[in-house]
Homo-oligomer: A and B are copies of this chain.
Amino acid sequence: MAHSHSNEHDLMDLRAKLRGKDRRITKPREEILELLGKEDHPISAKIIHEKLEGSCNLVTAYRSLKMLESMNLVKRFDFGDNTARFELICCNDKAHHHHLICNDCRTVVEIEECFDPKMESRIAQKHGFRNVTHQLEFFGLCSSCQTA
């Protein structure tokens, strides 16, 4: 699932969204978006920092990701290993998706399937919650790790 086609759009989107908020488009922020656009799976701040060697400090990566998340340009995922991972939010049909992670080798597979959204609104209504979202990830043993 390559996102590279969405780069330009995302950068425009970023510019538009930042302009209204007294915020700036900086080299690290652009590079993070560009990198995320090339990635097939969510990646951590540490990996981002490493891949952008030199052009984005680790602290800046954390701060930028938090900011991009708050602007809904990036989504945070949790694969249960004390490390947040981030993915570009793109506006096509694959926007909402989940992951299947191998408990052994940590391979990640993107899952497009999801449950009926009515379940979510039912739950929200039942408990008087609003703006309800969900985090859903699947874990198991991939075919290679079953034999090993």
Contacts and interface: CB of A to CB of B under 8 A. Distances in A.
State the number of copies, please.
2
A140 B135 contact: no
A92 interface: no
A119 B123 contact: no
A134 B111 CA distance: 12
Contacts of A141: 129-131
Interface size class of A (residues with CB under 8 A): 35 or more
Contacts of A76: 80
A59 interface: no
Contacts of A82: 82, 84
Interface string A62-92: 0000000000000010101010100000000
Contacts of A142: 127-129
The 9 closest A-B pairs by CB, nearest first: A115-B115, A132-B140, A128-B143, A129-B140, A136-B136, A134-B138, A130-B141, A131-B140, A135-B137
